[in-house]
Structure 1
Amino acid sequence: MNHELLRAAATGDKALLDQVLGLRSTTDNGGELEATQRGNPSCLKGVTSEGNTALHIAAGRGYLEHARIMCDLDASLVRARNNLRNTPLICAAKAGHVDVVCYLMEHALAPATVAASPPWYAGASSDEESMIRARNSEGATAMHEAIRNGHEAVLAKLMSADGGLAAVVDGKGFSPLYLAAALGRADMVDVLIAGSPPDGVKSPAYYAGPDGQTALHAAVLASEEMSKSLWCWEPTLAKKVDNSGNTALHHAASAGKIGAVKLLLLEDSSLAYIPDVDGLFPVHTAAKMGKIDIIEQLMETCPNSDELLDNRGRNVLHCAIEHKKEKVVQHMCKNPRFGRMMNARDSRGNTPLHLAVKHGCDRIAMLLVRDVKVNLSIMNNDGATPLDLAINELDHGYTYPMNPEVLIVQCLVWCGAHRSPRRRDEYLNKRTGVGGSEKELSKFTNLTQNRAIGSVLIATVTFAAPFTMPGTAADAAERPAFWAFILSDALAFLCSTVATCLLMYAGLTTVHPRYRSRYHVWSSNLLHVGVLLVIATFAFGVHLALSPPGTGIPGGNLNAAVCAMACVSVLFAQPGTWWPTVLAKPIWARLGLKGLLGVLLGPRPIPCQKLLLSRTPWLNLFKMLATLLILALILVTFLLDMSYLRPPAAQHRFSSNLLLQSQRQFCSYPT
């Protein structure tokens, strides 16, 4: 393309355009431009590297006068296409220049074609013959580009010129109406609906979308008002399904659009009974996404929605559990009308409790266990009870007590669940993490590296603490806080040192895996106690710094704050210490207070610990008792030390009062 012509088309310089094209400033023959030099307009045939002609550039920038000049000189430019097969009309529609679009449409539609075509063009001539319906490389027309770029005025002009454009889908299956609905442009949807065929017969192309969807599928996700407009325009859209069998109600239920769901159910409640290709009904979709309000609305409109099953025999509760929607399960457990689903089995015989165990949902499993209507020992088609599945999912090697699979097994055993009546050795081949497996050995290596850092750090800090304590030992030798500081620091140093030595042996590959496991268990508990003692040591050291002897208690409020923070830190330094308390609520709800006391004081904890292959069940009790003792040490030490500091201050005030009284008596003695 001529460089000067490109600059004129891009900048809108009309004088430069006239100079390049060799046009006179006057007009002849009824206003038509006349070239002074023959053959100069042929430069309009030049294109850029993108294939754009000068008309493409001028139309895309909205220079109407330039477009008129170029079209008058060479009318074939209207049909020119660039490398993306965009015509000048598509470029103008994409940029939103209404005046240029109106002018180009006059040239795009030949007079003979306009006179011969019916008002509602149904494809009498191809898109290549009718340039107003020309498509680019993506199959999009000027109307698609106008909608995609948000130009309502351009859309209205295109719709008034050729309403049949609304029935042209692009290469991805998008109709203009679907595209406008997907973009949430209610104003554009109204324009397209208003320009629909007057006889009321709508071709599916008018509302078509990708994968067999309709415009209503997209509208319910965007706007309730838009959905209502589309439903009033074509009521049959509500029952149209896409390639996956989804209706608009499926889409609205999955997105939690309660307004759209109410609208669709109000007009036709039978929509709730249309499944997709997997047999999932709208209520299943809402359960999978955790939409409680949608489930309630569907249950209110269709009371038997809880009886609907998909192709795998799953009800609403099954779907909610498989997708770990805890709030939905909690809502159903509290609502009596969902009670008949609690023991329902799917096509494989799995109850909701089976699925909760299988997917490792410990909180959901506990919610189900708390419901006395739930049977804990139902067998599935494979003859396995929930406890069988839980034991199969359990890592029988070294594991964390707060892991979901561990909590599920503990909860089921303590609540009285039973295993299936079969030989126990059938499960031996399914166990993982036992003995010297590669997975278990890699655990030992990682644990050694992580715990060694903590144990060495504690040993270093506690070794240096006595030599850097505030004040002097002589000043605080008689204070309870001083002795507690020394005691807790010494115990923390000993625990961390022994833990470090155990970890050294636990990290050796020459040591038998059984002993390595034991060393890790012992070092874990020693480190736990060491951390708690470091917290206590820090609290005592701060207390000694805030309350030096002979000055009373200047930092009383600060001391109380330090004591409170230390107690909270001791209690929650390691959440795994209090794992039995997590199970107290479901046990209480199912067995009552008597059952809870029987679990805590009876023989049940020992079989459960053996089930988890814990060779040292006393260590869990050791950690709990150590935590309580250190907590008591902090509280008692702070109280004793504060009481220790008060008497000297009171005695000082008493002696001062006696001295003042004696001075007054001496001054008043008669001479």
Structure 2
Amino acid sequence: MAAASAATVEFGPQILWLDKELLQVLAAGNKVLLEELLRGEGGTHPPRTNGQVAISFHGTSEPAARRGTSRLLGVTSNGSTALHVVASHGHAELAALICERAPSLAATRNRSLGTPLHCASKAGHRDVAACLLRVMDQATPRSRNLTGATALHEAVRHGHVEVVDLLMTTDPWLASVTTNGGVSPLYMAFRSLNSVNFNCKPEIAQEILNWPEGPSLLTRADSSGRTPLHFAVIYGRLDTVKLFLGGDAASPRLTSISDSDGSYPVHAAAMFGRTKIIDELVKKCPNYYELVDDKGRNLLHIAVESEQEMVVRHICGNDMFAMLLNATDYDGNTPLHLAVKQGYPRIFGLLLGTRGVDMCIMNKDGHTARDISCCASTLEHGRLRYFLKHNPEKYRENDKR
């Protein structure tokens, strides 16, 4: 009898539903009741269609009562097994018991092709993940769900450092697996950043980068051409930017990777007003002034168009950025042209008051910044015309420069 109660079962192809009583025990994490059910001491209610096991055989479905370990041979409406359920809830003792009685469940997938390890990793349950890894074969941790994500992707996406550490220690190769969209775990760590749910964690990035092939993931881009550095910049993570640029050999290459619009990380920093990050990127990329997007715009052009007054002020007040002041885009527009076109008086004033800015440069249409201000009709352009009219010395001063 003891041998029978401890016997293992295999999860076969039959379609069975987990019964209500078992589901309640699994969700509650009650190990004593689960052991009773698996010994066949529970579930003595008469068979009933609702909440009982549906067995599919040659196209028919009949309710049937099951006892003992065989009760584990069932799934929820989403195709999740008993092990998926306890993994999601974080019940490590129940996971160990189920793995002992039905070890094949560890590799079983639900309708989303997720394994119990996916569930445990997504929820951040390290102890359950460790239990599952002990009974899995070598290939199972690398299983990918419908979107191509591994358990490591799920742990990274939800910021669970301890699970990331466990998975990377068990199988470092996971760091190189990409989703169907070509997203690596390192990229995902920064693609999912936002003010609401990003709660980490340079530790996650560091854990992945510690893997021998980890640094190579920094150059991998998504479908829009953006790398992890782009997203670290966009979300203002100076600490992470420094981490990524820490390797001197890789730094110049990282800062010189553009997205599908030709925008470099320094453009993203200018667009989102990240002055400290701009300085960090420029230190690693001496030829920053040559980095232009598909429209020929440098970081000052971008700062002006994005109305990032703080960035414009920072650039205008630092001689190291002098090469940007009169640079033209592919339409021949200087940052000053763009300030007038956009109708930004404060930014226009900052540029006009900066030594070295030339107001007489003509764009491809043969227009200077002053010409544009005279042709436009909006209120803001009117203010610019007023500024030029009542401050002629500024215009004459620029003529002499």
Counterpart for residue 178 of structure 1: 187
Instruction: Show the 5 A alignment for 1:616-631.
Output: none
- Residues 1:150 and 2:162 are matched in the alignment: no
Counterpart for residue 328 of structure 1: 347
Residue 99 of structure 1 and its aligned partner are, at CA, apart by 0.4
Residue 137 of structure 1 and its aligned partner are, at CA, apart by 2.1
- Distance (Å, rounded) in 1 between the aligned partners of 2:360 and 2:161: 56
- Distance (Å, rounded) in 2 between the aligned partners of 1:171 and 1:199: 23
- Distance (Å, rounded) in 2 between the aligned partners of 1:94 and 1:364: 53
**Per the alignment, in what secondary structure is the counterpart of residue 302 of structure 1?**
helix
State the Cα deviation string for residues 129-169 of structure 1 (Å, max 9, x = none). Answer: x2212222222222222222221111111121122222222
Residue 288 of structure 1 and its aligned partner are, at CA, apart by 0.7
Instruction: Show the 5 A alignment for 1:221-260.
Output: 221=234, 222-233=236-247, 234-235=250-251, 236-260=253-277
Counterpart for residue 57 of structure 2: none
Counterpart for residue 84 of structure 1: 112
More helix by share: 1
Contact 2:373–2:381 at 8 Å: present in 1 too? Answer: yes
- Distance (Å, rounded) in 2 between the aligned partners of 1:254 and 1:159: 35
- Distance (Å, rounded) in 2 between the aligned partners of 1:55 and 1:22: 18
Counterpart for residue 230 of structure 2: 217
Counterpart for residue 209 of structure 2: 196
- Distance (Å, rounded) in 2 between the aligned partners of 1:135 and 1:277: 36
> 1:318 is matched with which residue: 337, 341, 352?
337
- Distance (Å, rounded) in 1 between the aligned partners of 2:214 and 2:119: 32
> 1:66 is matched with which residue: 94, 106, 116?
94
- Distance (Å, rounded) in 2 between the aligned partners of 1:194 and 1:147: 11
Q: TM-score, normalised by structure 2?
A: 0.77
Contact 2:156–2:204 at 8 Å: present in 1 too? Answer: no
Residue 286 of structure 1 and its aligned partner are, at CA, apart by 0.8
Contact 2:175–2:214 at 8 Å: present in 1 too? Answer: no
**Per the alignment, in what secondary structure is the counterpart of residue 212 of structure 1?**
coil
Structure 1 pair 273–292 and aligned structure 2 pair: CA distance change class (3 A): farther
Residue 39 of structure 1 and its aligned partner are, at CA, apart by 8.1
Q: Which runs of 5+ in 2 are unaligned?
A: 1-17, 42-65, 394-401
Counterpart for residue 294 of structure 2: 277
Residue 195 of structure 1 and its aligned partner are, at CA, apart by 4.4
Residue 252 of structure 1 and its aligned partner are, at CA, apart by 0.5
- Distance (Å, rounded) in 2 between the aligned partners of 1:311 and 1:270: 19
Counterpart for residue 383 of structure 1: none
Counterpart for residue 145 of structure 2: 136
Structure 1 pair 5–198 and aligned structure 2 pair: CA distance change class (3 A): closer
Contact 1:284–1:315 at 8 Å: present in 2 too? Answer: yes
- Distance (Å, rounded) in 2 between the aligned partners of 1:368 and 1:143: 58
Structure 1 pair 158–224 and aligned structure 2 pair: CA distance change class (3 A): same
Residue 207 of structure 1 and its aligned partner are, at CA, apart by 4.9
**Per the alignment, in what secondary structure is the counterpart of residue 137 of structure 1?**
coil
Counterpart for residue 627 of structure 1: none
Counterpart for residue 367 of structure 1: 384
* Equivalent residue letter for 1:147: V
* Equivalent residue letter for 1:215: P
**Per the alignment, in what secondary structure is the counterpart of residue 356 of structure 2?**
helix
Contact 1:286–1:292 at 8 Å: present in 2 too? Answer: yes
Residue 223 of structure 1 and its aligned partner are, at CA, apart by 1.6
Residue 229 of structure 1 and its aligned partner are, at CA, apart by 0.8
* Equivalent residue letter for 1:211: S
Contact 1:269–1:301 at 8 Å: present in 2 too? Answer: no
Residue 363 of structure 1 and its aligned partner are, at CA, apart by 3.2
* Equivalent residue letter for 1:313: G
- Distance (Å, rounded) in 1 between the aligned partners of 2:314 and 2:391: 30
Residue 250 of structure 1 and its aligned partner are, at CA, apart by 0.7
> 1:93 is matched with which residue: 121, 125, 139?
121
Contact 2:161–2:203 at 8 Å: present in 1 too? Answer: no
Determine which structure has more spread, i.e. the larger CA radius of gyration. Answer: 1
Contact 2:186–2:217 at 8 Å: present in 1 too? Answer: no
Residue 296 of structure 1 and its aligned partner are, at CA, apart by 4.6
Contact 2:78–2:110 at 8 Å: present in 1 too? Answer: yes
Residue 101 of structure 1 and its aligned partner are, at CA, apart by 0.8
> 1:5 is matched with which residue: 22, 25, 45?
22
> 1:48 is matched with which residue: 76, 80, 104?
76
**Per the alignment, in what secondary structure is the counterpart of residue 220 of structure 1?**
helix
Contact 2:83–2:105 at 8 Å: present in 1 too? Answer: yes
Structure 1 pair 326–332 and aligned structure 2 pair: CA distance change class (3 A): same
Counterpart for residue 33 of structure 2: 16
Contact 2:90–2:128 at 8 Å: present in 1 too? Answer: yes
State the Cα deviation string for residues 11-48 of structure 1 (Å, max 9, x = none). Answer: 11223222322269xxxxxxxxxxxxx98433322111
Counterpart for residue 53 of structure 2: none
Contact 1:167–1:205 at 8 Å: present in 2 too? Answer: no
Contact 1:269–1:302 at 8 Å: present in 2 too? Answer: no
- Residues 1:308 and 2:327 are matched in the alignment: yes
- Distance (Å, rounded) in 1 between the aligned partners of 2:186 and 2:384: 46
- Distance (Å, rounded) in 2 between the aligned partners of 1:63 and 1:589: 74
- Distance (Å, rounded) in 1 between the aligned partners of 2:160 and 2:214: 27
- Distance (Å, rounded) in 2 between the aligned partners of 1:244 and 1:268: 20
Q: Which runs of 5+ in 1 are unaligned?
A: 25-37, 114-129, 372-585, 592-671
- Distance (Å, rounded) in 2 between the aligned partners of 1:272 and 1:293: 19
- Distance (Å, rounded) in 2 between the aligned partners of 1:190 and 1:253: 26
- Distance (Å, rounded) in 1 between the aligned partners of 2:108 and 2:33: 23
Residue 190 of structure 1 and its aligned partner are, at CA, apart by 3.4
> 2:367 is matched with which residue: 343, 350, 358?
350
- Distance (Å, rounded) in 1 between the aligned partners of 2:202 and 2:375: 47
- Distance (Å, rounded) in 2 between the aligned partners of 1:358 and 1:253: 28
**Per the alignment, in what secondary structure is the counterpart of residue 164 of structure 1?**
helix
Aligned residue pairs total 342
Structure 1 pair 83–149 and aligned structure 2 pair: CA distance change class (3 A): same
- Distance (Å, rounded) in 1 between the aligned partners of 2:391 and 2:133: 76
Instruction: Show the 5 A alignment for 1:300-449.
Output: 300-338=319-357, 340=358, 342-356=359-373, 360-368=377-385, 370-371=387-388
Residue 314 of structure 1 and its aligned partner are, at CA, apart by 1.4
**Per the alignment, in what secondary structure is the counterpart of residue 348 of structure 2?**
helix
Percent identity of equivalent pairs: 29
* Equivalent residue letter for 1:229: L
Residue 298 of structure 1 and its aligned partner are, at CA, apart by 4.1
